[in-house]
Structure 1
Amino acid sequence: MRYIFLAIGLGVLIGYQGWIRERGIRWNSRLQTVWLLLLIFCMGVSIGRNGEVVRSLPLLGGKAVLFAVMTAIGSIAVVYILSTLFLEKEGKK
């Protein structure tokens, strides 16, 4: 676990100090995409090899959709409430 925090901390330090130039930032972006796709692929392989998860996908899929929709609705509601409380109206100054 500490290696994760070490890696994140090192990345934040390098990014904050600006030690990577524009070309390095572009490469970093490409590498992030490649590693993310590899991670998703590996997760898919793990899920596919677990027969119990595959059999439960219809039930899990419905719960996942419900969770995603409720999360989006909750986020929109919180942003709406906070924006009406803290942001100025167009006509008022």
Structure 2
Amino acid sequence: MKILRFLIDNSVYFYVAFMLAGALVGYFGRVPNFIKRHNGRVQTLCLILLLLAIGIEIGSNKEVLKALGNLGYKAAAVSFLSVLGTIFCINIFVRFLTKRE
């Protein structure tokens, strides 16, 4: 239980660590072909499950539902800027990694 609590409290660090580990594994070409073939499907499935979990969390939180009208524009702006920031960062990383090849 202590390990689970530690992971929950420090989850952002683990997300970043796993993403960096995956990027390094992919960069150095240590990924088996059977994983490469199904990687897109696994990503899509995990994304769908993540969105479902987020929807369940939002739907079950009555305070969020009450405040949704007031937070609507702010939430939309944060979401939009998050997507733009993600696209920007991905482009930087892709350009950085492709220059080395």
Give the distance between the partners of 1:68 and 1:5, measured in 2 at CA.
19
Give the distance between the partners of 1:66 and 1:5, measured in 2 at CA.
24
Give the distance between the partners of 1:18 and 1:44, measured in 2 at CA.
36
In terms of mean alpha carbon deviation, does 23-32 or 42-51 score higher?
A: 23-32
Q: Which has the larger radius of gyration?
A: 1
Map of 2:64 onto structure 1 = 53
Aligned pairs, how many? Answer: 71
**More helix per residue: 1 or 2?**
2
The RMSD of aligned alpha carbons is 2.6
Gaps of 5+ in 2: 1-9, 86-101
TM-score with structure 2 setting the length? 0.54
Gaps of 5+ in 1: 76-93
Q: Helix, strand or coil: the match of 1:18?
A: coil
TM-score with structure 1 setting the length? 0.58
Give the distance between the partners of 1:5 and 1:63, measured in 2 at CA.
26
Moved runs in structure 1, 4+ residues, more than 6 A? none
Map of 2:98 onto structure 1 = none
Map of 1:35 onto structure 2 = 46
Map of 2:31 onto structure 1 = 20
Shift of 1:66: 4.6
Give the distance between the partners of 1:66 and 1:8, measured in 2 at CA.
25
User: Residues 7 and 57 (structure 1 numbering): CA distance in 2 closer, same or farther, change over 3 Å?
Assistant: same
